[in-house]
């Protein structure tokens, strides 16, 4: 699963799963990994080979100038990992417009914004791999996550659409989604222990996932080892739904 010489972009790449993905792609031989994130303080301890870039995936102008500059410097983007995501949980009848809009804006429109800018560049180059980070709750639903689960279903639908759209004119641009189960990061620190115990109790492997276990699947989909896989969603959930 080598990524020798590949130019990679990971959104939300300075923390949590995104950071682990950035580190693994870099360790697998990527020419460079751009870790796009909102909080520049997190860039201070990024390892060599990973370049932090202050960018909000909801800001189209920031994305367009980043992509222009990157293409001018490197000539191509080989891998895009759409990882940035947020939660604003609540039962549907208590969910505010603000919480709905915030989650849709980052988790779904942010992915759209990135692919709209990067997909055509990959097509021009003739190859590329886009990986959307979904979630099992986008496939199965979850109480209190109407907004989040809708967006995570949306990024699977977008992956399937782009698998068809970005492979036109002979371009080998592959687009897939990864659906993690519950993973040990800051994002789930607000989830009550009782709920975590319920989830691990239902998981055949009996524990939460670790970020590197998601990154392993992303690395596979980013690499040429998955050269005939596109339009798919791969669950990485310890068997939560079997
Ligand atoms: P974290 O909250 O730990 O990290 C997410 C990163 O994305 C943060 O650095 C965050 O910055 C950044 N980010 C958020 N919004 C934006 C934005 N608008 N533009 C750029 N960067 C942004 O989350 P995880 O690592 O846990 O999750 C990563 C992905 O995996 C998400 O898409 C999540 O939905 C998905 N996932 C996570 C699971 C889990 O159990 N942890 C399970 C299933 C899927 P900031 O701190 O400023 O918000």
Question: How far apart are the CA of 84 and the centre of ligand 1, in A?
Answer: 5
What residues contact residue 83 under an 8 Å CB cut-off, 6+ apart? 10, 11, 12, 13, 17, 18, 21, 133
User: Do residues 10 and 30 touch, judged by C-beta distance below 8 A?
Assistant: no
Pocket of ligand 1 (CB under 6 A): 11-12, 14-18, 36-39, 56-58, 83-86, 106, 110, 133, 135, 180, 182-183, 185-188
Q: Where are the alpha helices (DSSP H) in 55-109?
A: 60-74, 97-103
pLDDT digits (tens, 9 = 90+) for 80-105: 999 999 999 999 999 999 999 999 99
Q: Which of 14, 17, 23, 238 to mutate to test the pocket of ligand 1 (most atoms within 8 A of CB)?
A: 17
Which letter, b or e, does each residue of 100-122 get, where b requires 16 or more Cβ atoms within 10 Å of its Cβ? bebbbbbbbbbbbbbbebbbebb
Count Cβ atoms below 10 Å from residue 234 Cβ, excluding itself: 18
State the residue for tokens 């010489």.
Answer: 5
- Ligand 1 atom with minimal separation from the 208 CA: 40
Encode pLDDT of 129-149 as tens digits.
999 999 999 999 999 999 999
The tokens for 135 are 């979630």
Q: Ligand 1 test: best mutation among 85, 138, 237, most atoms within 8 Å of CB?
A: 85
CA 23 to ligand 1 center in whole angstroms: 16
Task: Give the separation between CA 60 and CA 154, rounded to whole angstroms.
Answer: 19
Q: Is the pLDDT of residue 22 over 90?
A: yes
Pair 236, 213: CB distance under 8 Å? yes
Ligand 1 centroid–CA 107 distance in Å is: 9
User: Which residues are identified as catalytic?
Assistant: 148
For residue 171, the CA-to-ligand 1 centroid distance in Å is 30
pLDDT in tens, 161-204: 999 999 999 999 999 999 999 999 988 888 889 989 999 999 99
């Amino acid at each position: 699963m080598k990524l020798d010489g590949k130019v990679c972009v990971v959104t939300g790449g300075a923390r949590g799963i995104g950071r682990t993905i950035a580190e693994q792609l870099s360790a697998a031989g990527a020419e460079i990994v751009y870790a796009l994130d909102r909080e520049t303080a997190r860039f201070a301890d990024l390892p060599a080979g990973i370049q932090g870039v202050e960018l909000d995936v909801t800001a189209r102008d920031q994305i367009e100038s980043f992509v222009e500059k990157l293409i001018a410097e490197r000539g191509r983007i080989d891998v895009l990992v759409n990882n940035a995501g947020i939660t604003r949980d609540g039962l549907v009848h208590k969910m505010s417009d603000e919480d709905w809009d915030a989650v849709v804006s980052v988790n779904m429109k942010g992915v759209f914004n990135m692919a709209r800018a990067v997909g055509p560049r990959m097509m021009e180059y003739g190859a590329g791999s886009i990986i959307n980070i979904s979630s099992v709750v986008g496939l199965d639903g979850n109480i209190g996550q109407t907004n989040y689960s809708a967006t995570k279903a949306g990024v699977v639908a977008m992956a399937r659409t782009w698998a068809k759209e970005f492979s036109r004119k002979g371009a080998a641009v592959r687009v897939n989604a990864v659906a993690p189960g519950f993973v040990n990061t800051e994002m789930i620190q607000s989830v009550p222990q009782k709920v975590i115990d319920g989830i691990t109790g239902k998981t055949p492997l009996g524990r939460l996932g670790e970020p590197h276990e998601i990154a392993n699947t992303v690395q596979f989909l980013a690499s040429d080892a998955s050269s005939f896989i596109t339009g798919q969603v791969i669950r990485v959930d310890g068997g939560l739904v079997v």
